[in-house]
Amino acid sequence: MKTLLDDLSTILTMAFEEAGVSSRSIEVSYSRRPDLCDFQCNSALKCAASIHKEPIELAQKVATILGKQEIFLEVTAQNPGFVNLKLSSDWIAERLKQMNQMERLGYKLSDNPQNLLVDFGGANVAKSLHVGHLRSAVIGESLIRMLYFSGHNVIGDIHLGDWGLQMGYVIEMVRLKDADLPYFEETELDGYPEQAPFDIAELTALYTQANIKSKSDETFKAKAAQATAELQKGRKGYLALWHHIMAVSKSDLKRNYDHLQVHFDLWLGESDSQEVIPSVLNHLDEMKLLVESEGAKVVHVGTESDKKPMPPCIMQKANGAALYATTDLATIYQRTLDQKLDGIIYVVDKRQDLHFEQVFRVARTSHIAPPSFKLKFIGFGTMNGLDGKPFKTRDGGTMALSDLVEIITKSALEKLEKYSQLDSQDEKVQAALKIGVGALKFADLSNQSDKDYVFDIDQFTSFEGKTGPYIQYAVVRIVSILNKLSEKGVKAAEYFNGETAIEKTLMLKLATFSDWVNMATETYQPSKICDYAFDVAQTFNTLYHEVHVLKNSVKRQSELMNLLCLTREVLEECLWLLGIEALEKM
């Protein structure tokens, strides 16, 4: 079914036509004054001149035409030329009835379903996940769900950072600890040890030490760069060590992402593009795009219309090593060749926008990505601590993501220990994980993706205010009422009756489900779903306090039951779209 706003816009376009304004698409929006009306249309202000009328005259005419239609309870024209609309409850009730019977609550699938790949997560192997990786994972997971919900065929690829300088760092650090290990022998061996020379904690420590060392030790840094280049050229001993880094890192990453309920269909990385890099460079060369610059090979991507500096995109270092841009371009090359993809959506820190702009430009001018192929960069802002600076541990270090999940889960468990209806400790621990992760995800997603935001653990685990647990708790309350009604043998009515004002308000909000999902998907903004879910949850809570469902007549109980069933479905669908689990008890 079409969204409510789309339906209203069609109806208003017809009314404007009847009033003499020829076929323009008329816009309807949510009312900025919900006390006065549900929706408003400001188009008379724009269109009146075309028919030589004052806006208010046109608005009045349109209001008279619309006032005769059953869908509206009231239509009024307001100075200087607004049309204010109030919908009739019967019409909303009918709409909800349809919505109730349809799949996806009537949300219409896209007319143009596409095969899309979402490149997100972007973890770097050898480093453990830190809070900086949260946003990509959480936003990416939600976008995948939203796109899938709209009928697109979507796959997620983690695109591991597994081929860059950090590999050389680890290799050189391992050598410093024990240069006698077989990986460093000059002549290649037939086989290398099967057991990794480190576990995840040791690997992370190696990387951290190497990172610190590289800041003061130029020789070390140069050796690491050399090791990276040799690894990329296929030196067997280094490759064997690299496989260990990959295996140890991946299992740790999988565990961490599982905790967050974030899933990837593909676990490919920068290294997987290595095999096509020579063809890509060749292709750029043949197209006369590749230029020598201080020994390196670059592509000039700047144009005259650029307002910001647009440095050339470096494709190969003087020592022959590939760079971040090379692997990204080569990956686009593979993705356009192999999978019948229509486009790639990247969910990456917004500070990488220049990198992506450069890579996209090379991809376009080299025809690696045809014009119809979508390349979309969704840059997200930083998650900051209460001091407004990037979120840190108490001693100022980078906080591991697993530690953050633990802190927030603990905070949720403490609350459950005070208030929970759950009996066993095990159930409480399970619920605390769902609530903790829900709090974390909601806190992140409820901010517009490209903005920085301040993360406050106490605030976000609260069951009050605009938080994940608040929405989860609303569902729990609904489930509890529904269970009590079922126990009493009440059956849900098959119609909606907006008897009280708060029921009407809730009904109207439920009827706009598709509008919000649509808006969120079109703008790639899960925050819109957070806004909507919070609004519905709040409206339900008002109803909960005003209307004591169980004290009503059987008829009213059954009507309210129907309304609550739909409210539950809407909230659960929103939570699913956000990648958050709903609970039945907490």
- Report the interface residues with ligand ARG, using CB under 6 A: 119, 122, 124, 159, 161, 328, 346, 348
Q: Which residue is nearest to ligand ARG (CB)?
A: 122
Q: In what order do the strands lie in the sheet with 296-299?
A: 290-293, 296-299, 313-316
Radius of gyration, alpha carbons of the chain: 29
Which parts of 366-452 fold into alpha helices (H)?
A: 401-419, 425-445
Sole residue written with tokens 């079109």: 522
CB closer to ligand ARG out of 124 and 358:
124
CB of 321 to ligand ARG, least distance (A): 16
Which parts of 217-265 fold into alpha helices (H)?
A: 218-233, 236-259
CB closer to ligand ARG out of 330 and 431:
330
CB of 199 to ligand ARG, least distance (A): 22
CB closer to ligand ARG out of 347 and 566:
347
CB closer to ligand ARG out of 124 and 518:
124
CB of 387 to ligand ARG, least distance (A): 24
CB of 406 to ligand ARG, least distance (A): 23
| Peptide bond just before 80 cis, omega within 30 deg | yes
Start-to-end CA span in the chain (Å): 35
CB of 86 to ligand ARG, least distance (A): 48
CB of 359 to ligand ARG, least distance (A): 8
Closest CA to 84 of 19, 31, 14, 6: 31
Backbone angles phi, psi at 323, to 5 degrees: -115, 180
CB closer to ligand ARG out of 12 and 347:
347
Backbone angles phi, psi at 258, to 5 degrees: -60, -45
CB 374 within 8 A of CB 116: yes
Closest CA to 73 of 37, 34, 31: 37
CB closer to ligand ARG out of 159 and 568:
159
CB of 375 to ligand ARG, least distance (A): 11
CB of 458 to ligand ARG, least distance (A): 29
State the DSSP H helix or E strand holding residue 177, giving kind and residue range, or none if neither.
helix 165-177
CB of 161 to ligand ARG, least distance (A): 3
CB closer to ligand ARG out of 119 and 252:
119
Backbone angles phi, psi at 290, to 5 degrees: -85, 130
Three-state secondary structure call for residue 90: helix
CB of 159 to ligand ARG, least distance (A): 4
Q: How far apart are CA 569 and CA 536, in angstroms?
A: 11
CB atoms within 10 A of CB 275: 10
CB 524 within 8 A of CB 143: yes
Three-state secondary structure call for residue 281: helix
CB closer to ligand ARG out of 122 and 237:
122
Q: How far apart are CA 316 and CA 298, in angstroms?
A: 7
CB atoms within 10 A of CB 395: 5
Q: How far apart are CA 584 and CA 586, in angstroms?
A: 7
CB closer to ligand ARG out of 260 and 348:
348
CB of 302 to ligand ARG, least distance (A): 21
CB of 122 to ligand ARG, least distance (A): 3
Q: Between β-strands 453-454 and 290-293, what pairing exists: parallel, antiparallel or unpaired? A: unpaired
CB closer to ligand ARG out of 119 and 515:
119
CB closer to ligand ARG out of 220 and 356:
356
Q: How far apart are CA 393 and CA 400, in angstroms?
A: 9
CB 162 within 8 A of CB 238: no
- Three-class HEC string of 324-346: HHHHHHHHHHHHHHHCCCCEEEE
CB closer to ligand ARG out of 119 and 503:
119
